[in-house]
Amino acid sequence: MSELLQGAAVVENKPDSWCWKLDGNRVFSVKKLVELFDGVLLASSIDNVETLRNRLIPKKIEVFIWRARRGRIPVRIELDKRGIDLHSIRCPMCDEDLESVEHILFSCSFAKDISGKVLNWWGYSSANFIFSDIFDGTFGSFASNDKKGI
């Protein structure tokens, strides 16, 4: 305890208060916490940080992308990797392929129609599009600036 208190300074005639050492002004703010979270925790685990800095994307979608990139979406392939015993790791909706993040978002016949319409709306062809294109810079590298924002 004495080691912890060794660097503490007592200021007379001033009430005790909390201070936050992660900011220069020592005042806690949610905005600063979000900036630190985006810049340190998320950026350290994703190669293309711009995906997480797009103000047009809601935070819960950014978190979903972050989780998908790290293999943290509970699809059957990921559950099987963690030793969870499943009857099958094939997609229960179409039974055409293994249930992976890429499959449930883009390859599954149920998802293909929706993702194709969204990509078409953005001016892209859904042919040869894979989930990792969002992160490796392929997706949007040939798009106009307004489409890059989307």
Domain boundaries, the chain: 46-149
| H helix or E strand, kind and range, residue 81 | helix 76-81
Residue numbers in the chain where pLDDT is lower than 50: 45-46, 48-51, 137, 142
pLDDT (0 to 100) of residue 80: 93
pLDDT (0 to 100) of residue 131: 55
pLDDT (0 to 100) of residue 99: 95
pLDDT (0 to 100) of residue 49: 47
DSSP category for residue 97: S
Q: What is the pTM of this model?
A: 0.52
Nearest to 90 by CA among 104, 71, 111, 110: 104
**C-beta separation of 68 from 46 below 8 A:** no
pLDDT (0 to 100) of residue 50: 44
